[in-house]
Amino acid sequence: MKKLIGLKKIKTAVFISGKGSNLKNLIKFSIKKNSPISINLIISNTRYAKGLKYSIKYNIQKKIINFKNKKIAEKKILKFLLTKKINLICLAGFMKILSKNFIKKFKGKIINIHPSLLPKYKGLNTHKKAIENNDKFAGCSVHFVTAKLDSGKIIMQKKIKILKRDTIYSLAKKILKKEHLLYPAAINKIYN
Ligand code: GRF
C-alpha cells in the first residue's frame, strides 16, 4: 500500500451494520494529529445500524445502501467512493459479503476486523466456538479482504487468555476492547 506522503491523510470509508463501536473508535483515532487516515464516509446496509449516530456526532457523510440487489448496491457504493476519493475501506461489523468484482476494484485497499485468531473460526459465532472447543486463547485479527471470506493476509492480531469463568458474553466484551486497540495499530502498521 501507498505510504503516507507529507500530511495528506488517506481518505477512508467505514462500512458498518450494527453498533459501530469500532467505527467510533476509528473516528477518534482518525482525528488525532498523527493518524494516517481521515474518515470521510460511513456506509451502512441498514438504517437501523446504531453506529449511524456517529455520522451526526462527528459530521461525517453517511449513505444507507439497500443490499436486496447486491450488484446495484455495490454500483452505488462505488460511485460514492469515487466521488469522495476514498482510498481505504475499513469493514467494521459489516454483515454483507462484498462481491469478487467489487473487491477487485479496491484491491489491497479493503481491510476487516474479525473477532477470532484467524485462520481459526472464520464467519460467525467465533466466541461460542472458542469456548465450546475449550480453547486456551481467543482474540481478534485485522486482515486484508479478498474474495474468500476472512481469508486475506493478516495484518495484526491480539490474543487474550480464555478464563474458566468466561462466557460468550464476557469473552466478546474483552475481545471488543482489544479490537479497539488493534484496528488503529493495524492501520498504523500499513501506513508507517
Ligand atoms: C466486532 O466484534 C467485529 O470484530 C465484528 O463485528 C463486531 C462489530 O462491533 N466484525 P461494532 O459494531 O464495531 O461495535
| Domain end position, chosen among 52, 83, 107 | 107
Q: How many domains does the chain have?
A: 2
Q: Are residues 103 and 163 in the same domain?
A: no
Q: What is the CATH number of the domain that holds 69?
A: 3.40.50.170
At residue 192, the pLDDT reads 84
Q: Residue 170 is part of which domain span?
A: 114-192
At residue 168, the pLDDT reads 98
> SS3 for the chain, per residue?
CCCCCCCCCEEEEEEECCCCHHHHHHHHHHCCCCCCEEEEEEEECCCCCHHHHHHHHCCCEEEECCCCCHHHHHHHHHHHHHHCCCCEEEECCCCCCCCHHHHHHCCCCEEEEECCCCCCCCCCCHHHHHHHCCCCEEEEEEEECCCCCCCCCEEEEEEEECCCCCCHHHHHHHHHHHHHHHHHHHHHHHHC
User: How many Å lie between the centroid of ligand 1 and the Cα of residue 79?
Assistant: 26
Q: Are residues 132 and 45 in the same domain?
A: no
At residue 6, the pLDDT reads 52
Q: Residue 90 forms beta bridges with which residues? A: 14, 111
Q: Which atom of ligand 1 is nearest to the CA of 112?
A: 10
Q: Are residues 25 and 78 in the same domain?
A: yes
At residue 61, the pLDDT reads 98
Please tell me if the CB atom of residue 21 comes closer than 6 angstroms to any atom of ligand 1: yes
pTM value is 0.95
8 Cβ neighbours under 8 A, 6+ residues apart: none
| Domain end position, chosen among 89, 107, 125 | 107
Please tell me if the CB atom of residue 113 comes closer than 6 angstroms to any atom of ligand 1: yes
Q: Are residues 87 and 120 in the same domain?
A: no
At residue 7, the pLDDT reads 63
Q: What is the rounded distance in angstroms from the CA atom of residue 130 to the CA atom of residue 123?
A: 13
**Beta strand pairing call for 137-144 and 154-161:** antiparallel
Q: Are residues 136 and 167 in the same domain?
A: yes
Q: Note down pLDDT in tens along the chain; length 192 residues.
A: 545 445 699 999 999 999 999 999 999 999 999 999 999 999 999 999 999 999 999 999 999 999 999 999 999 999 999 999 999 999 999 999 999 999 999 999 999 999 999 999 999 999 999 999 999 999 999 999 999 999 999 999 999 999 999 999 999 999 999 999 999 999 999 998
User: How many Å lie between the centroid of ligand 1 and the Cα of residue 118?
Assistant: 15
